[in-house]
Amino acid sequence: MDKNALEFLEKYLNNAAPTGYEAEGQKMWMDYLRPYVDEFITDNYGTAVGVINPDAKYKVVIEGHADEISWYVNYITDNGLIYVIRNGGSDHQIATSRRVNIHTKKGIVKGVFGWPAIHTRDKSNEQAPKLENICIDVGCSTKEEVEKMGVHVGCVITYPDEFFILNENKFVCRALDNRMGGFMIAEVAKMLKENNVKLDFGLYITNSVQEEVGLRGAEMITQRIKPDVAIVTDVCHDTTTPMIEKKKEGHTQIGDGPVISYAPAIQNNLRELIIEAAEDKKIPFQRLAASRVTGTDTDAFAYSNGGVPSALISLPLRYMHTTVEMVHRDDVENVIKLIYESLLKIKDNHNFSYFQ
């Protein structure tokens, strides 16, 4: 990961891209990716795809998602407080006492999620923060005052937290889920270019919108691309921090390498190709099993177009959907390497069928 890559990552992370409003981040991402691809496809909802070998018949997707969780303004009280609803899996438990950015046509309006003082709370019946009791204060005393600032029902709300590095190799930021995915697939394209690799199939480097509300961007773009193979990357949980039950969530941790998933949506022969790539190149990896669905865009690709061989390579992450999500730099580099090496093993017209 060179200096230029790290600079891009920081800029890309610090830009807010809430679900439904990913376009600015996508432009940034396309600018970074442009030297490494032949052309771009974009769709009406903002998904962006860099294409290498657009004329090739056999199509391979590598994919991450561009959006981040946020809140919507839902209701403004007469005395100027703002109640919210989720846009994606935003966490009510971490909201209180946080600063927020409300996105309006007039620009960012700053606010805070307030919370009653410890002195005034009923100690025998402590309330946990929940959607019904958290609200944003923008420093106004009437609804009219709030509206005059440009805030209305439907405005989206993000956290201002920015990228930083802890102890040399832990990246911390909001929205590492899944801004890291877009970053890592772009780095794969860069590696292909720098190593002068001529792929004999079409490569579709796909940054999908609207994953956080149910894999919607991937559902749309897979119909457009009609890929033959899809390798998806997203984040998964580090399960070694407190209050996580390993018997339920499995054991995966940051620093121990990319996480390869087992699930019905994962095509076994494609997964084995990825594991072979890891073993051949001595890339460390971990395993994770998912019951029924992976909950990632993998499901959207797998169950489209009559069944697309799909696999999932995840980046382990601590504190998902908080403002201090954390990943290990070595894992980031190893996910990039693993996607790259897997692509080198895929041949034109590669047949993944179980019946050959």
Alpha carbon distance 315, 149 (integer Å): 40
234 binds Zn ion (CB under 5 A): no
CB of 178 to Zn ion, least distance (A): 7
Select the residue whose beta carbon is closest to Zn ion and give its number. 177
Whichever of 177 and 238 has its CB closer to Zn ion, that residue is 177
> Would the annotation count 234 as a binding residue?
yes
Q: Point out which residues pair with 148 in neighbouring strands.
A: none
Nearer to Zn ion, 86 or 143 (CB): 86
Region for residue 131 given its phi and psi (left: phi exceeds 0; alpha: psi -120 to 50; beta: otherwise): alpha
Nearest-10 Cα torsion for 303, 305, 311, 314: -70
92 marked as part of a ligand binding site: no
Candidates 145-153, 176-184, 217-225, 299-307: pick the segment binding Zn ion (CB under 5 A): 176-184
Q: Give 98 or 337: the residue with its C-beta nearer to Zn ion.
A: 98
Distance CA 242, CA 148 (A): 44
Residue indicated by tokens 């005034």 = 120
Cα–Cα distances in Å, from 137 out to 47, 88, 110, 134?
33, 22, 9, 10
| Residue 334 contacts residue 284 (beta carbons within 8 Å) | yes
Closer CB to Zn ion, 68 or 341, in the complex: 68
Count the Cβ atoms, other than its own, within 10 Å of residue 334. Answer: 23
Query: Nearest approach, Cβ of 83 to Zn ion (angstroms)?
Result: 23
Tell me whether residue 2 is annotated as binding: no
- The answer to whether residues 104 and 151 touch, using CB atoms and an 8 Å cutoff, is yes
From the CB of 296, what's the least distance to Zn ion, in Å?
9
177 is in an annotated binding site: yes
Query: 100: burial class by Cβ within 10 Å (0-12, 13-18, 19+)?
Result: buried
- Whether 145 sits among the annotated catalytic residues: the reply is no
Residue 177 makes contact with Zn ion by CB under 5 A: yes
| Burial of residue 157 (number of CB atoms within 10 Å: 0-12, 13-18, 19+) | buried
Using CB under 5 A, which of the segments 51-59, 174-182, 306-314, 333-341 binds Zn ion? 174-182
Taking contact as CB under 5 A, which single stretch among the options 35-43, 170-178, 188-196, 220-228 is the one that binds Zn ion?
170-178
Cis amide leading into 74 (omega within 30): no
Closer residue to Zn ion in complex, CB, 273/313: 313
Instruction: Determine the interface stretch with Zn ion among 130-138, 163-171, 175-183, 330-338 (rule: CB under 5 A).
Output: 175-183
**Catalytic position from the list 211, 219, 325, 341:** 211
Q: Does 68 bind Zn ion (CB under 5 A)?
A: no
| Residues in region 96-135 near Zn ion by CB under 5 A | none
Known catalytic residues are 211
| Residue stretches of the annotated binding site for Zn(2+) | 65, 177, 212, 234, 321
Residues that bind Zn ion (CB under 5 A): 177
